[in-house]
């Protein structure tokens, strides 16, 4: 017989079968917000697994609950119902080993770029001494092409450079999970594509499991090894696309027939998510 959650030799762990092997396991999650007009159901039966070292892109209609999902993974919220587990353990509160970057980099203007990047190391417990912290920050800055900008203030940097700095800040404490909530959404097309390539270089060097929220389908197949389409609100997992290892990793590969086919499939799924209520879909 299986041990009950939190009991026996599995104390603190959940016997989840397949989900046990996942880095991030989200199972049948339901969540509503309390609003003056009553509860607003946002997630209704969302299921998602991300393997260790995997990079999953989550796409779906505006307002369907994608940022809510990131809050659940980072432990800033717990769901009303269902399971959010990391390394087989239920997430019950904020985790310090998560790194996050958002559409608006929110760098502190009164701090230099170096001091902005070092901020998480001042908050998250770690064993790094001062010179090791600076070395780590310098290494990340060089990885994203920002060497030499350590002493600048955020306002002296372009939008793309600020986003690169925010990526360094998200990674400085070596998080095991990196959550990116539309980090490139506000950038112009050229800067965005530049950052996609930087992301690949970063991913090759830093061993994290990634969740990327995006509205850009090209970005999703360029960066992720799996793309999950959420239905309209209240969201559940509508469709999952595995991007083969041979998927686009150079910008020119986005124009191959294989990439075009993946994009057409995803576009079709987004149309379904935008125009059909989830209940209709089930009976279709
Ligand atoms: N704290 C909150 N209280 C009440 N309602 C909320 C709260 N946070 C989000 N919502 C509502 O929940 C729904 C889902 O919000 P969420 O931010 O998760 O969507 P999203 O998919 O990230 O949207 P977008 O694509 O615009 O970023 C929206 O209708 C939003 O207005
Ligand atoms: Mg959002």
pLDDT digits (tens, 9 = 90+) for 251-269: 998 999 999 999 999 999 9
Indicate which ligand has the atom closest to the C-alpha of 61: 1
Write the pLDDT tens digit of every residue in 214-256. 999 999 999 999 999 999 999 999 999 999 987 778 899 899 9
Q: How far is ligand 2, taken at its centre, from the CA of residue 65, in Å?
A: 7
Atom of ligand 1 minimally distant from the CA of 68? 18
Q: How far is ligand 1, taken at its centre, from the CA of residue 35, in Å?
A: 11
Atom of ligand 1 minimally distant from the CA of 230? 21
Structure tokens at 191: 């800067």
Write the pLDDT tens digit of every residue in 160-196. 999 999 999 999 999 999 999 999 998 999 999 999 9
Residue nearest to atom 13 of ligand 1 (CA): 63
Q: What is the mean pLDDT of residues 51-70?
A: 96
Give the confidence band of 20 by pLDDT, cuts at 50, 70, 90. Answer: low
Give the confidence band of 138 by pLDDT, cuts at 50, 70, 90. Answer: very high
Atom of ligand 1 minimally distant from the CA of 35? 4
Q: How far is ligand 1, taken at its centre, from the CA of residue 13, in Å?
A: 30
Q: What is the pLDDT at residue 7?
A: 39
The pTM score is 0.90
Ligand 1 contacts CB of residue 39 (under 6 A): no
Is a pLDDT exceeding 60 seen at residue 278?
no
Is a pLDDT exceeding 50 seen at residue 97?
yes
Is a pLDDT exceeding 90 seen at residue 13?
no
Indicate which ligand has the atom closest to the C-alpha of 64: 1
Percent above pLDDT 90 for the chain: 82
């Amino acid at each position: 017989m299986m041990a009950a959650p939190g009991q026996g030799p599995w104390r603190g762990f959940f016997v989840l079968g397949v989900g046990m092997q996942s880095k991030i396991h989200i199972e049948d999650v339901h969540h509503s917000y309390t609003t003056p007009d009553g509860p607003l159901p946002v997630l209704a039966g969302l299921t998602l697994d991300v393997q260790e070292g995997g990079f999953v892109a989550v796409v779906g209609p505006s307002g369907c609950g994608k940022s809510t999902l990131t809050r659940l993974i980072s432990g800033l919220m717990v769901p009303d119902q269902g399971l959010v587990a990391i390394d087989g353990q239920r997430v019950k509160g904020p985790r310090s080993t998560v790194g996050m970057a958002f559409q608006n980099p929110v760098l502190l203007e009164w701090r230099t770029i170096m001091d902005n990047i070092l901020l998480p190391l001042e908050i998250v417990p770690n064993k790094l001494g001062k010179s090791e912290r600076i070395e780590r920050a310098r290494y990340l800055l060089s990885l994203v092409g920002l060497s030499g900008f350590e002493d600048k203030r955020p306002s002296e940097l372009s939008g793309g450079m600020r986003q690169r700095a925010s990526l360094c800040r998200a990674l400085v404490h070596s998080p095991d999970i990196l959550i990116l909530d539309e980090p490139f959404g506000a950038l112009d097309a050229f800067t965005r594509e530049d950052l996609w390539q930087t992301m690949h270089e970063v991913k090759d060097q830093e061993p994290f499991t990634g969740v990327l929220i995006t509205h850009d389908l090209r970005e999703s197949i360029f960066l992720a090894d799996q793309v999950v389409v959420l239905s309209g609100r209240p969201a559940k997992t509508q469709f999952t696309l595995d991007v083969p290892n041979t998927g686009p990793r150079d910008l020119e590969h986005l124009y191959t027939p294989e990439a075009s086919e993946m994009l057409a499939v995803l576009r079709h799924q987004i149309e379904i998510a935008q125009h059909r209520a989830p209940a209709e879909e089930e009976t279709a």
